[in-house]
Amino acid sequence: NAGVTQTPKFRILKIGQSMTLQCTQDMNHNYMYWYRQDPGMGLKLIYYSVGAGITDKGEVPNGYNVSRSTTEDFPLRLELAAPSQTSVYFCASHITTNTGELFFGEGSRLTVL
Amino acid sequence: GENVEQHPSTLSVQEGDSAVIKCTYSDSASNYFPWYKQELGKGPQLIIDIRSNVGEKKDQRIAVTLNKTAKHFSLHITETQPEDSAVYLCAASMFYFGTGTSLTVIP
> What's the confidence (pLDDT) of residue A64?
98
Percent of chain B with pLDDT over 90: 92
Residue A2 clears pLDDT 90, i.e. is over it: no
> Alpha-carbon torsion B65, B70, B72, B76, what sign?
negative
Measure in Å the smallest separation between the Cα of A105 and chain B Cα atoms.
6
**Per-residue confidence at A100, pLDDT binned at 50, 70, 90?**
confident
Per-residue CA distances from B79 to A86, B6, B44, B84 (Å): 38, 22, 22, 10
Quick one: chain A helix, strand, coil %, rounded to 5?
5, 50, 45
- Number of H helices and E strands in chain A, helices first, is 0, 11
Residue B42 clears pLDDT 90, i.e. is over it: yes
> What's the confidence (pLDDT) of residue A25?
97
**Are A40 and B42 in contact (CB < 8 Å)?**
no
Mean pLDDT to the nearest integer, B74-87? 98
**Are B32 and A98 in contact (CB < 8 Å)?**
yes
Task: Please report the residues numbered 9 through 38 in chain B whose beta carbons come closer than 8 angstroms to any beta carbon of chain A.
Answer: 9, 31-32, 34, 36
> What's the confidence (pLDDT) of residue A99?
67
Residue B71 clears pLDDT 70, i.e. is over it: yes
**Are A43 and B44 in contact (CB < 8 Å)?**
yes
A16: left (phi over 0), alpha (psi -120 to 50) or beta: left
Residue A55 clears pLDDT 70, i.e. is over it: yes
